[in-house]
Amino acid sequence: MRVIAVTGTDTGVGKTVVTAALAAIHLSLGRTVAVVKPAQTGVAPDEDGDLTEVRRLAGEVSLYEGVRLPDPLAPDTAARVAGLPLPTLREQQELVGSVAKEHDVTFVEGAGGLMVRLGEGYKLADIVAPYNARWVVVARAGLGTLNHAELTVASLLTGGQDVAGVVIGSWPEHPDLAEEQNYTDLPRVTGVPVLGRIPENASALPVRVFRRGALNWVPNL
């Protein structure tokens, strides 16, 4: 089994579309793929969330959600505001472990950035700690991304994590000077490679185009 943790340098950087692209790549190689979302916030009980979008874009992946909370806040805050319980760290770890045993590749997608609390006193790194996870960091293209990406990767490396590299979650059709230079500088400042770039608005593409494109968007997986 292989566990890949997908985190971001911030909220809204494109983690879900990157997870979908990576899942599509592994599906194309004939592997069984699962995606675990330990905490989904800002969605109603009967509303489609990030996992539904991953399956729509990537194909037949198995989906598992640890907890769903109605307010668009950090999970521990959303649970407190709603007066709802959160899974324990052990429950989240056991979910990932049981899913990983039955699939070739299991993606565990966090919420927001690396340091966001997904439960009472635990983060994404705590959930995947027993499974020798490989990490993918999703970053923005524009100004500020060098600082955010370097801080995120440094925190992971300091914690002894295996960081595969950075994926830019939304790459514009006509990048400006800052975006072009950020793409060049990210490997230098983070110490890990840029694995690829997802085109801006890729989730709006026909799914067949998205799945074919994923192979070229993240060529260094």
The set of catalytic residues is 37
C-alpha dist (Å) from residue 109 to 38, 39, 144, 165, 166: 7, 9, 23, 15, 14
Tell me how far apart the alpha carbons of residues 140 and 179 are, in angstroms, rounded to a whole number: 9
Cα-flanking dihedrals φ and ψ of residue 140, to 5°? -80, 165
Query: How many residues would you count in the chain?
Result: 221
User: Residue 87, SS3?
Assistant: coil
Tell me how far apart the alpha carbons of residues 52 and 171 are, in angstroms, rounded to a whole number: 23
**220: Cβ–Cβ under 8 A, 6 or more apart, which residues?**
165, 193, 194, 195, 196
**106: Cβ–Cβ under 8 A, 6 or more apart, which residues?**
1, 2, 3, 4, 33, 34, 35, 36, 96, 99, 100
Tell me how far apart the alpha carbons of residues 80 and 122 are, in angstroms, rounded to a whole number: 15
Tell me how far apart the alpha carbons of residues 74 and 91 are, in angstroms, rounded to a whole number: 19
